[in-house]
Amino acid sequence: MTQKGSLKAVKKNKAEEPELEPLCCCEYIDRNGEKNHVAACLCDCQDLDEGCDRWITCKSVRPETCERIMDTISDRLRIPWLRGAKKVNISIIPPLILLPVFLRVASWHFLLGGVVLTSLPVLALWYYYLTHRRKEQTLFFLSLGLFSLGYMYYVFLQEVVPKGRVGPTRLALLTCGLFLILLALYRAKKNPGYLRNPASRDRSLGSSQTECLNGKGQKTKGFPGTDVMGILNNRTLKDDQKDSARLLAGSPTMVKDDWCAKCQLVRPARAWHCRICGICVRRMDHHCVWINSCVGESNHQAFILALLVFLLTSVYGITLTLDTICRDRSVFTALFYCPGVYANYSSALSFTCVWYSVIVTAGMAYIFLIQLINISYNVTEREVQQALRQKTGRRLLCGLIVDTDGVTDKMPC
């Protein structure tokens, strides 16, 4: 009788709810919960009108007004899609526009090239610290990295390959390296080892089970199609709860240090809470903006592999390009002395892209070196930073090596 009563109540509520009209490809539900249209993206924007009026009258625009304008733009920037327009993250757009413009301007003259190529890392670091201070996720660096790969490959095909110095075998090898980078990045973007609260998972499983009973109206226990794996998963969740209870009862001091108030769980050894992702990660190394995800226990190997393949592919592409536009010179000599490279636009653009690739490669090589040193010392970057903040570690070799002084036990990885 109870199940029948609940079924009737659910059916009555569904009957009372008004049916929403399906959205066309250009319609969407905005942040205020109202139906809107892509064509009306410039209509009824009081914050933008106020900002323009203050800018025209040479008055300062208040920071809160700028934030509201950016929120409105990010909410209305959409592309038509099936069953409603899809929202486009505004942070992916600047690299698509600014990178080709900056590189083409830098190829006009070597002085312009020096200014532009020096300012690009400064702007990237400024944006990094801005978003890192606000603890915000951003797709800017992921978009910059992927678009840089694509644009460098495009310039190589358009400007370097037609000169006839790069054969099919070399081109195929470079192309395979590019695909391997993308494959490793895809693997590194996967779950780094997120920690879920067993109690919340139990509650979600229980609610799913109740919905299944209400929907079918049958007297079944568990989920439809439940098998041995489902039983094992439930046992694993209960075991996790028991382990947490033992820790809570056993060592109060340890629990106080390992308890995460935001995730409401006891973290295992070497797990940390990422303030940007908002979740705890097993053996967290750091939050990498280039993949817009944490580097942890499950994706650390893929992250190292992506760095290694990128370095090898980038150095190989730089070598092929310099060998084509600066013939009869070694790679290192051609990088600093290549007379006549600005005589035509094609070679100038290729040379500018080479220097851009060198700057990016140098930054990735530094990250790769730090990772190798941390692995050899069996520490994570998070543990290194914690040792420096607590003044339990000391820097060696100009800061490349940090002796954590026993933050973690010296045990094999």
What tens digit of pLDDT does each residue of 80-114 get?
Answer: 877 777 877 888 888 999 999 999 999 999 899 99
d(CA 123, CA 129): 10
Closest Cα to residue 281, out of 290, 292, 289, 270?
Answer: 270
d(CA 334, CA 328): 9
If one compares 116 and 56, the residue with the highest pLDDT of the two is 116
pLDDT 10s digits, 327-364: 888 888 888 888 888 988 999 999 999 999 999 999 99
Q: Given pLDDT bands bounded at 50, 70 and 90, which one contains residue 160?
A: very high
The set of catalytic residues is: 288
403 has pLDDT over 70: no
pLDDT of residue 199: 59
pLDDT 10s digits, 291-331: 989 999 999 999 999 999 999 999 999 999 999 998 888 88
pLDDT of residue 88: 78
What's the mean per-residue pLDDT of the chain?
A: 77
Total Cβ atoms within 10 A of residue 402: 23
pLDDT of residue 89: 80
Q: In degrees rounded to 5, what are phi and psi of residue 42?
A: -105, 10
Rounded to an integer, what is the distance from CA 346 to the centroid of its chain? Answer: 33
Q: Which run of H or E residues covers position 395? A: strand 394-396
pLDDT of residue 312: 96
228 has pLDDT over 50: no
% pLDDT > 70, the chain: 72
17 has pLDDT over 50: no
